[in-house]
Structure 1
Amino acid sequence: MESYDFIVVGGGSAGCVVASRLTEDPDVSVCLLEAGGTDSSPLIHTPVGAVAMMPTKINNWGFETVPQPGLNGRNGYQPRGKTLGGSSSINAMMYARGHRYDYDLWESLGNKGWSYNECLPYFKKAENNEVHHNQFHGQGGPLNVADLRSPSDLLERYLQACESIGVPRNHDVNGAEQVGAMPTQVTQLNGERCSAAKAYLTPSLTRPNLTVITRATTHKVLFEDKKAVGVEYGLKGQRFQIKCTKEVILSAGAFGSPQLLMLSGIGAKENLDVHGIPQIHDLPGVGENLQDHIDLVHSYRSSSKRDTFGVSMQMVVEMSKAVPQWITRRSGKMSSNFAEGIGFLCSESDVQVPDLEFVFVVAVVDDHARKIHASHGFSSHVTLLRPKSIGTVKLNSADPYDAPRIDPAFFSHPEDMEIMIKGWKKQRQMLESNAFDDVRGETFYPVDETDDKAIEQDIRNRADTQYHPVGTCKMGTPDDKFAVVDSDLKVYGMSGLRVVDASIMPTLVGGNTNAPTIMIAEKVVDSIKQQYALLKQTKTASCEPS
């Protein structure tokens, strides 16, 4: 049986960071297991390729939720990356960290070391920001952050429209103040996607101490008593086991990590017994505390075909120009992330921290791009940043190849709908402002904006995830019965086992989750390296003659 120092399960936004950083030490061996394939597809590296992956199973798990009563019985859609780089290889590349409040809240809940001031150095360590050079941003990090190379002219209209409803321009929503609207900064390098795989893993692949195995589905963690000693995985119809001398690190995401813990016998007994899985350790918080951003899109037809994406002969002409521009200069429409504008705002004047987010898109967005309209247009998402609805992730079966049972319980808390209706109105007001008058056509889903009941039904009929599930392996204190990991992300009651990904967030941050997930990995891998360096020093000292 092959043996490594560390086994990392999941080659996504966190796993790529962990594997790369650990193998900076040539004496440390790491095996990274990824259920998806390599990130070689041009759809990944060409920014506009996201539109082909998001609504399909291309590099995408394409999960669905159980029927949601809060969405009038609809099944929600949950795209997640199934390739090296994980969701950072299929997302819209938006760079947003959330608010200072979010991380200070984590620490106030007893998670020592997770305040904003203690997390900021790791955001900066990860980052190479081409534009912002100040105390809030980093240079020289693996993750390149840039302005869009060829933004649409509609972006200026979006900023004017935000100003017209009281949302000011803000040159950096990741800086001193989050409130405001700006052109989206993106995780791109030279006009190409800069995923976690591209940033961290690709430069590390030649290291002899790093083994990467793709299309490998991890079945379970192997234990001796309550110590993780390896994993079992499947590849090409065969079953393999590998061992580790130090730790198994789960970085399979908010759905995959709790699923794998339960498949391995860690979780609430009632959740395991129903599938005939022997319990190794009782940890009732596994799969609980699922939080996700609920989101509603308004879309309008547009007469501005040059500045938008759409289905038309004009688009064929535009793309015939864009392809050579992309090939020769890595600019033009092919470098667009579609979601070219971002904004953070408050639902009411007395709200202290932004509780809503705008995402302005230079295309028609309907049902995650799964409904295609033969027209050009523009759209905006409004996202509820701190929902109070809490869901679960459970097993559908004991088969590791089955999708998990995902229940976000959208709108199960009544306050979420109250704030979402306010967000609906603010977004509609923004999009129907004078800034868009000469390019705006009709909306695809007209609703009387004075009728709150009609607005609520529109939300229940069309709202869905903004792709930010977190919290299902919650970080917390020992007296929190639903905490799964401690502040070092070690699984309670076990040894040699950690979870390092978005599932450890005790609460959902008020912003996109990719940059925070990378920060989490940077922070914890630093702690891991320090821990084992101290152990090595202690062993060396104990062997020296007195």
Structure 2
Amino acid sequence: MTDYDYIIIGAGSAGCVLAERLSTSGRHKVLVLEAGGRGRSPWISLPLGYGKTFFDPAVNWKYQTEPEEALAGRSGYWPRGKVVGGSGAINALVYARGLPHDFDDWETSGATGWGWDAVRLTYEAMETRVTARGDRQGNGPLHVQDVSDQIHPVNRHFFAAAGELGLPLTKDINGSANEGAAVYRINTSGGRRMHSARAYLAPALKRRNVTLMTGVLVERIVFEGRRAAAVQLSQRGRALTLRAGREIILSAGAVTSPRLLQLSGIGPAELLQSHGITPLLDAPHVGGNLQDHLGINYYFRATEPTLNNALRPLLGKVRAALQYGLTRRGPLALSVNQCGGYFRSAPKLRRPDQQLYFNPVTYTTTPNGKRTVVQPDPFPGFIIGFQPSRPTSRGRIDISAADPVAPPRIRPNSLATEEDTAQVIAGGRLCQRLISTKALEGLVESAMDPDLRRMDDDQILADFRERCGTVFHPSGTCRMGSDPAVSVVSPRLKVHGIEGIRVADASVFPNITSGNTNAPTMMLAHRAADLILEDA
């Protein structure tokens, strides 16, 4: 039995932030538990290395959803980080705060104190915004890089198409004018990935009061009465029980945080009993309220060179590697998602309802033994894609057995509402209008099947059901709110009805934000540390 003040379960995007913030004063002894390894692979540091980690079981849980009738009976692939840095170590690096109304909706739904005016200040405190010229704004640990001077020239056609349709243009989707076509800001510094492990955990580990344990399987949380007292785990065959003098903080993500609560006796009583677990607290909403973004890409052969020309030939690979090695710039220093933004699919809408992506590359994924290889196509091409920003369907994540090694049951319940199917058609039509502009017509040599330009509403929806996939933003499974009847944690992130335990990760989002969820997850952890220290 070893005593710590705080035990953080999960060294992902949220857990790394918490470790740094809770240990700054030196007064608290902090332990961070991570199931994966240290994340020393060069593909993690390399921004475009995302393509290598996407299917790598060494750093990726590679979850699968249950088959969904609404998606043509398909099972979805859900990559999640199994490494220090979590999913932020293997994602595509797009930094998107979310839109102000996302957080105002949080507050309206019962997450008091989490409206836009409050979270905006947290974003400003955590960020150092770096312009394309290298000028810095802010003094936070997390670098947010403007790479507009490095993107591929073919992106100019996307901006011209948006202008042709009368859609807005913006310099920064995280700024005051956040709607419209933009170059995505990314989390890099010096051409290397700047995830929360690098920005927060690495400095924290230099302190004597912070301990990181990797390769750890957390089996359950141990309670004394209704107070969380310790964590039961195994590491390389050793069984350990580690005590927390103050609090245990679940930051294991939207998939694993609700599973650990259920394995520990907090969840739907009937479900727990069916797996032989004695309920400590009947909490039916643990694992519910699951939300995710579904997206689709449309592929086109291009009439001018794209990243395919730079990254497919051996000589091109060598040139890109030399450029990166000598300057930390070039295509290897960027995300695959270079441009996009928030858009309204119809002018009458009050707020943006779609997020778009324009990528100057097309690629093919092929199995290669136990691994899957992602390779740019041998001809110039580009992608345009969309995701509805605020889906209304709700699913569940639950344990499948009392064994902590057993895979979860992931049931997204995709496209369960008429509003969501209407949003799919609206997003498809928006992309259709863009690809039909003079600006993009000249870039298209031919469509790679299926051809969006020839689809009617029914065909757009049918194609989406056949080909769409997660955009890797699961959230909401330990919902935050003031009413225990409809939520799992309070606005201070304490589990309702239980002492000594909080949840601080994307699982507590009352509703999914309009864009990529890595930035709001780190923001939430930053604010969570303030709440924890206030209560201490």
**TM-score, normalised to structure 2's length?**
0.94
Equivalence for 2:469: 464
Overall identity of the aligned pairs, in %: 35
Moved more, 296-305 or 504-513: 296-305
- Counterpart secondary structure, 1:111: coil
CA distance in 2, matches of 1:364, 1:241: 49
Q: Deviations over 1:499-542 (max 9, x none)?
A: 0000001111111111101110111101111221xxxxxxxxxx
5 Å-filtered alignment, 1:38-49, equals 38-49=38-49
CA apart distance, 1:448: 5.8
Change (3 A) 1:331 1:311: closer
Asked whether the 8 Å contact 1:70–1:412 carries over to 2, the reply is yes
CA apart distance, 1:221: 0.6
Equivalence for 1:397: 401
- Counterpart secondary structure, 1:155: helix
- Counterpart secondary structure, 2:308: coil
- Counterpart secondary structure, 1:52: helix
Task: Determine which of 311, 314, 317 is the counterpart of 2:315.
Answer: 317
CA apart distance, 1:100: 0.7
CA apart distance, 1:461: 0.4
- Counterpart secondary structure, 1:249: strand
Asked whether the 8 Å contact 1:489–1:500 carries over to 2, the reply is yes
Change (3 A) 1:519 1:214: same
CA apart distance, 1:110: 2.2
Change (3 A) 1:68 1:193: same
- Counterpart secondary structure, 2:329: coil
CA distance in 2, matches of 1:481, 1:255: 22
CA apart distance, 1:409: 0.8
Equivalence for 2:13: 13
Q: Match for 2:492: what amino acid?
A: D
Change (3 A) 1:349 1:439: closer
CA distance in 1, matches of 2:53, 2:361: 16
5 Å-filtered alignment, 1:130-145, equals 130-131=130-131, 139-145=138-144
CA distance in 1, matches of 2:384, 2:54: 17
- Counterpart secondary structure, 2:103: helix
Task: Determine which of 496, 500, 506 is the counterpart of 1:496.
Answer: 500
Q: Deviations over 1:381-414 (max 9, x none)?
A: 2011111110000111111112211111111112
Asked whether the 8 Å contact 2:300–2:444 carries over to 1, the reply is yes
Equivalence for 1:539: none
5 Å-filtered alignment, 1:262-277, equals 262-277=262-277
CA apart distance, 1:473: 0.1
Asked whether the 8 Å contact 1:254–1:469 carries over to 2, the reply is yes
- Counterpart secondary structure, 1:186: coil
Equivalence for 1:541: none
Quick check: 1:302 aligned with 2:302? yes
Asked whether the 8 Å contact 1:39–1:197 carries over to 2, the reply is no
Equivalence for 1:542: none
Q: Deviations over 1:110-151 (max 9, x none)?
A: 221111001111111110001399xxx961111100122621
Q: Deviations over 1:12-61 (max 9, x none)?
A: 11000001111112120011001111121100001110011113324111
Quick check: 1:513 aligned with 2:511? no
CA apart distance, 1:438: 4.0
CA apart distance, 1:239: 1.6
CA apart distance, 1:423: 0.6
Moved more, 200-209 or 439-448: 439-448
Asked whether the 8 Å contact 2:110–2:480 carries over to 1, the reply is no
CA apart distance, 1:346: 1.0
CA apart distance, 1:376: 3.6
Asked whether the 8 Å contact 1:92–1:338 carries over to 2, the reply is yes
Equivalence for 1:361: 359
Q: Match for 2:488: what amino acid?
A: V
CA distance in 2, matches of 1:379, 1:162: 15
CA distance in 2, matches of 1:57, 1:417: 33
Change (3 A) 1:367 1:461: farther
Q: Deviations over 1:189-243 (max 9, x none)?
A: 0111100101101122121100001111111111101101110112112221111
CA distance in 1, matches of 2:234, 2:137: 39
Quick check: 1:100 aligned with 2:104? no
CA distance in 2, matches of 1:138, 1:33: 33
Task: Determine which of 337, 340, 344 is the counterpart of 1:339.
Answer: 337
Equivalence for 2:248: 248
Asked whether the 8 Å contact 2:248–2:502 carries over to 1, the reply is yes
Asked whether the 8 Å contact 1:52–1:58 carries over to 2, the reply is no
CA distance in 2, matches of 1:370, 1:510: 30
CA distance in 2, matches of 1:451, 1:385: 22
- Counterpart secondary structure, 1:386: coil
Q: Match for 1:68: what amino acid?
A: E
Unpaired runs of at least 5, structure 1: 533-546
Asked whether the 8 Å contact 1:342–1:360 carries over to 2, the reply is yes
Unpaired runs of at least 5, structure 2: 367-371
CA distance in 1, matches of 2:526, 2:132: 21
Quick check: 1:451 aligned with 2:456? yes
- Counterpart secondary structure, 1:272: helix
CA distance in 2, matches of 1:448, 1:427: 9
CA RMSD of aligned residues (A): 2.0
Asked whether the 8 Å contact 1:297–1:366 carries over to 2, the reply is no
CA distance in 1, matches of 2:444, 2:146: 26
CA distance in 1, matches of 2:378, 2:403: 41
- Counterpart secondary structure, 2:65: strand
